Structure 1
């Protein structure tokens, strides 16, 4: 199955970002992808954290979700909207918190899975400061969905977002459920990405004997923030199958079910776990 990681350099305008996402998704479909995954906050990288509160949508309704559904239907493509801000039911009165949610749309345009980012990023090196808990409410549950490919193979896919990458127990749980592919849409900072991005992604692939697809924000944004990029697909042996350093791009590569089975047969590490 051919898959695509969509790399973006999202701006402060939702309309502009959706226009760019539409062009990149169309490119992925033209290249033969069955699944295309957008990066974290593909719809907006605002000038301040609270900007995402202004564009929040109730689950199941809103212009960003409508865009994803329409794009999936028109392109005949499975689309994962890397993440967008969804309204928290118990915070509607104040609007002070949202969920950072990743949504899966099938080729009919139906939303078939939702994952809310569980681990919230906090970082302070004296120059850069981030604390997602100021505006985000964490999710609580891992989510795995099945994708029936055109060749009849059913791929089991585990969902995550960005900072989740640092918590291997989440991906081990997916491995225990038979995950073949792990998704990590992200907006890693340049600082942390340069240090740990590829290292962590390849580790998650190798230790779980699964493919990892990681679309990212990559470049200097309108708001002055610089993200690491390096969107990639890595195979269960830790080999990079495709990567893009910075700038808008479609990183396409193919998942090989036979190779996946071969790796798991030759090195049945998942069967040797004792904890």
Structure 2
């Protein structure tokens, strides 16, 4: 049982949803082989902006319609986060868009206080576990990576995904923490980050990557624009868990 996944590492045009959709569409169209899942960066329509009113979409808006159409045409799931306005609030919302048009969502729980994200966005509360093609997938967003309790594998998920706008000065932490999450949760981990500069003069060098349950790279960190394809083998992971099931000894707790 395998899950072929495409990691799209790209520059983003600042607060320009139409240009970013066109840019991403070009990269998605260039994927010539079949993939089960396409992963986009955090806030893929805008970059990591604290001006949500400039770029906010609705769940019935153009960006969501584009994702649904593209997922249907490629016959795969597409996931990433974007700015969503709902009931008078703004959310940094990850959408998990199925070819059927079904959408499951996760609102970023840990808002990045260093940038004042908590002042303009509403935090989510609930963890999302998606079941897709025999895999249980837990998608999270950027700053969530620093909080291992929330990511703890109490659901026996198979894949942990982080979409991000994680800048160059702290990219070493990104690399270390992605490996830590893989090892401690005995799970595949996929991290997708952007490249380029944003309007705040922050530089991003990507380091999108895929890691197995031992902490080994399936896709080493990359610093250039590109689409990187990896294949995750669930049976291999289950065999490892059967032999070395450290998850049996995990602590029991409840998040409040």
CA distance in 2, matches of 1:191, 1:253: 27
Aligned length: 249
**Residue 172 of structure 2 corresponds to residue 181 of structure 1:** no
Q: What is the TM-score with the length of structure 2 in the denominator?
A: 0.92
Which of 150, 174, 177 is the aligned partner of 1:170? 150
Summarize the Cα distance change of 1:274–1:17 in structure 2 as closer, same or farther, 3 Å threshold: closer
1:89-115 Cα offsets, whole Å, 9 max, x none, are: 1xx2xxxx410000011122332x100
CA distance in 1, matches of 2:232, 2:176: 20
Verify the 8 A CA contact 1:8 1:42 in the aligned structure 2: no
CA distance in 2, matches of 1:233, 1:22: 22
Verify the 8 A CA contact 1:219 1:247 in the aligned structure 2: no
Aligned to 1:49: 50
Structure 1: give runs of 5+ residues left out of the alignment.
Answer: 124-129, 149-153
Which of 60, 81, 84 is the aligned partner of 2:82? 84
SS at match of 1:176: coil
CA positional deviation for 1:86: 1.0
Aligned to 1:127: none
CA distance in 2, matches of 1:238, 1:216: 19
**Residue 224 of structure 2 corresponds to residue 247 of structure 1:** yes
Verify the 8 A CA contact 1:183 1:214 in the aligned structure 2: yes
SS at match of 1:255: strand
**Residue 137 of structure 2 corresponds to residue 157 of structure 1:** yes
Verify the 8 A CA contact 2:84 2:90 in the aligned structure 1: yes
Aligned to 2:27: 24
CA distance in 1, matches of 2:197, 2:84: 26
CA distance in 2, matches of 1:192, 1:255: 27
Structure 2: give runs of 5+ residues left out of the alignment.
Answer: none
Summarize the Cα distance change of 1:9–1:147 in structure 2 as closer, same or farther, 3 Å threshold: same
SS at match of 1:31: coil
**Residue 221 of structure 2 corresponds to residue 260 of structure 1:** no
Verify the 8 A CA contact 2:209 2:222 in the aligned structure 1: no
**Residue 101 of structure 2 corresponds to residue 109 of structure 1:** yes
Aligned to 2:5: 3
CA positional deviation for 1:257: 1.4
CA distance in 2, matches of 1:184, 1:35: 14
CA distance in 2, matches of 1:213, 1:25: 18
Aligned to 1:215: 192
**Residue 117 of structure 2 corresponds to residue 144 of structure 1:** no
Verify the 8 A CA contact 2:47 2:165 in the aligned structure 1: no
Verify the 8 A CA contact 1:3 1:34 in the aligned structure 2: yes
SS at match of 1:160: strand
SS at match of 1:42: coil
CA distance in 2, matches of 1:215, 1:250: 10
Verify the 8 A CA contact 2:207 2:221 in the aligned structure 1: yes
CA positional deviation for 1:31: 2.8
Summarize the Cα distance change of 1:169–1:274 in structure 2 as closer, same or farther, 3 Å threshold: closer
CA distance in 1, matches of 2:41, 2:229: 14
